[in-house]
Structure 1
């Protein structure tokens, strides 16, 4: 059953409130439901679960991590149809998780977070939402990094007489065929949507500020025999482990180690040379930065699409718009009917941070004024009993985000166990521990391609720090951050007349 939106929460006081019903929020809810120890509620501003995979429905959307690695290890193996799952298939997987785990009754759809405030006297988080107030001992932020689309500042964009769409706000029915379309960006979303748009466009102009490195995708459908084999838990687990360790080998590339980085560069440039025969276009598509410092993309049809007679590769960014005319930095102008903004997300400065106020009413956005910081990539000083999933330094540039989320879930569950067993009112990581972890991240990051190879969305523009990625392997993240330890925390014990956690 699909969870139904509520006009008001059934419960106004719970042990745990989870903000966001994407992979991280659903994973956290699953763990809590199976424990059956803490009361909890999940609030979600949209009208369905799924997060990124609910919001992004543009043609061609798919994952670039193999399906058996981009799924929960603690769920029965899904019957994936292809090596790399489509967005729709992932969305169905998440909805199936909600149904199978009985999470529908805990989820409040169309329930946006207006503000979360720490009440120190009561040792509770007080949430103002679109459907009323919720009070909780523990706040789990699971809003992710890809929830707020980034719209670049383009002079005159408001004067555009056609239609403007971000890939994360795709609207079916806008395109009927024969349009003159401009796509702004050549990142992960762009290389997926461009081949589909080119099929029906009268003209497709691709505005590229920076060409990406692209390697072969080599996706394929699983045979019936393979699907049957991978529905067996032991076989699926073995496949997942194999994929995880194989992907982790790519971290050597991000350290600039040879021959690893030379091999991946040669693979990408070889792919370009094989697919693009025109020397001028090939030169325009050759990156001038080190491979790996920006996301390496997977595609078999991006380069061939750029050579279609109805496609123009504009090797500069969109500079300005005047009614139907779009002008590139190069000075070239194009008459367009539709602008598709494949321009990514507000990842380094999540807007939700402005709505969260911790000790002394200081906002999380203020705390992160010089870039996101944390301890164990999960806890933040000044914000007691709060945990952030898929936040600061909790993503990877070479492996599965779901593995990282599961590591954080284990950490949060450990913290909940400590609160329950110790009877403590609150846990707050110390400023010293947070500062020490930040130094550790900076030291680990210094020699990576993310800080030496180019500027990218992984790096905070205010501080120049790597704030989105974990500068190590997925396995090393679990070794470092997979087990909760109360030592770095300031712990507030309950008054003698106060009982344990709310039930």
Structure 2
């Protein structure tokens, strides 16, 4: 089997420079990642008058998930006018749901518009971040041997950045082409090939309709069918784009309307899950309208409560499955041979290419050894009972570490950019308070973190994600806890993060070495 172009971090073969550690760069704030989270943090720092920061990015360009995912049909499943920074509206989206190239271009434009290029450190892959208690700083080791020292560390690595591969016997024996959807091989010609797609998640429902007309035959290996709703997508007219550009208030009104329409979904997800029966009727009608064959219709109809897994949207997935050259296979995979996938019932499905649409490590996005806190404690050990953080942002035992898109900040109904901006504002409040009170380091108090997460889990216990009768990537596979989603309205999270409370934190007084950084924070 051909190895993916970019191995998961835990399998990466990159090694530190044989010449030993390079020179140490000193910055006040180090930001890891340049997706919406990292760029949003950097932009708001500049707007607050804080310029002593750097963005460290493992790749050669910015964009995060919208750079890494470039498979055919890749697009956002939240409307573009909401899935963008509130402080950087784009009046020129071509569709209500933007395709990947437009979102990536938007992030590149924001990088230029807000003057972030001088702060970028591209091709800087983080190997390890370790807290130095003696100096009250984070020591960062990069894959190329470079070292960085920072008072504050902000992780913008995101929760859906490490691709997950299935553990199937014999995969290493496969002689054809094989790749994950995140590492799409555009140089491999699919035309005329027998293609096996493993997985039926958010990525697969986008790329399967694009490749099905090209291939000789496509076997879609489905373990659990997803619930799929119609996608209310359309082109944005030239007149609308003109209006948004000339009268920005009109785009703001559209953004507001989309926001409240999506917020209404929380009523079914959390407040009253029985309301999801109404949504399920719409989804079943969608299946009936798009698939004529009763057997196939039954195969793709889920048997769990809608919303328990991520609800997907598509207008072309079901028609693709109904094509004569597509089979939906549900018998379960036993093993892989050199040129075929063998099912548990003994049938053999020949394949020239295997494409993994198997998602990401959502509950453990950070590899072991990457972040070490007080006394060298590994973040994964702190999360042995499931990932958790205070307000999804700070973790006890890891001073001056801020997570953007941390545990229980994910959404099943609205735009993650809204959550990112809420966390960024909270972090700015923390930095300002640290400067005003002449504090060098803060560490969230364990009782504050424990009480906050106990409240979250009580709310999640009655939500559709826990009661819907399914197993999803929202839940930690070891503990069964939902460590991924926010159990409520997004405005509730914004209200919770609106004010930084120093009383929730243990503090370390400012040292002389950090005085200049504190003065800058005070001025901001």
Instruction: For 1:163-202, list aligned pairs within 5 A.
Output: 163-202=177-216
C-alpha deviation, 1:252, in angstroms: 1.2
C-alpha deviation, 1:462, in angstroms: 1.2
Q: 1:79 aligns with which of 61, 69, 92?
A: 92
Residue 484 of structure 2 corresponds to which residue in structure 1?
468
Q: 1:37 aligns with which of 34, 50, 58?
A: 50
Counterparts of 1:399 and 1:316 in 2: how far apart (Å)?
Answer: 34
Counterparts of 1:256 and 1:208 in 2: how far apart (Å)?
Answer: 31
Q: Structure 1 pair 435/160, CA: closer, same or farther in 2 (3 Å)?
A: same
- Conserved 8 A contact 2:223-2:332: yes
Structure 1 residues 71-80 or 118-127, which shifts more? 71-80
Residue 10 of structure 2 corresponds to which residue in structure 1?
none
Residue 12 of structure 2 corresponds to which residue in structure 1?
none
Instruction: For 1:225-304, list aligned pairs within 5 A.
Output: 225-231=239-245, 232-255=247-270, 257=272, 260-304=275-319
Residue 383 of structure 2 corresponds to which residue in structure 1?
368
- Conserved 8 A contact 1:393-1:470: yes
Structure 1 residues 344-353 or 430-439, which shifts more? 344-353
Residue 408 of structure 2 corresponds to which residue in structure 1?
393
Instruction: For 1:34-183, list aligned pairs within 5 A.
Output: 34-131=47-144, 132-183=146-197
- Conserved 8 A contact 1:9-1:108: no
Structure 1 unmatched runs, 5+: 1-6
- Conserved 8 A contact 1:184-1:317: no
Q: 2:235 aligns with which of 216, 221, 233?
A: 221
C-alpha deviation, 1:256, in angstroms: 6.8
C-alpha deviation, 1:130, in angstroms: 2.9
Q: Structure 1 pair 305/76, CA: closer, same or farther in 2 (3 Å)?
A: closer
Q: Structure 1 pair 433/30, CA: closer, same or farther in 2 (3 Å)?
A: same
C-alpha deviation, 1:37, in angstroms: 2.2
Residue 3 of structure 1 corresponds to which residue in structure 2?
none
C-alpha deviation, 1:317, in angstroms: 3.9
Counterparts of 2:457 and 2:239 in 1: how far apart (Å)?
Answer: 47
C-alpha deviation, 1:75, in angstroms: 1.1
Moved >4 Å (runs of 4+): 7-11, 495-498
Structure 2 unmatched runs, 5+: 1-16
Helix, strand or coil at the partner of 1:425? strand
CA offsets, 1:31-79, max 9 Å, x none? 1122222400010111111111101110000000000000000114341
- Conserved 8 A contact 2:27-2:53: yes
* TM-score, scaled to structure 2: 0.92
C-alpha deviation, 1:477, in angstroms: 1.1
Alignment length, in residue pairs? 497
- Conserved 8 A contact 1:354-1:366: no
C-alpha RMSD of matched pairs (Å): 1.8
Residue 496 of structure 2 corresponds to which residue in structure 1?
480
Structure 1 residues 305-314 or 236-245, which shifts more? 236-245
Counterparts of 1:401 and 1:317 in 2: how far apart (Å)?
Answer: 34
- Conserved 8 A contact 2:395-2:449: yes
- Conserved 8 A contact 2:28-2:53: yes
Q: 1:13 aligns with which of 12, 16, 26?
A: 26
Residue 455 of structure 2 corresponds to which residue in structure 1?
440
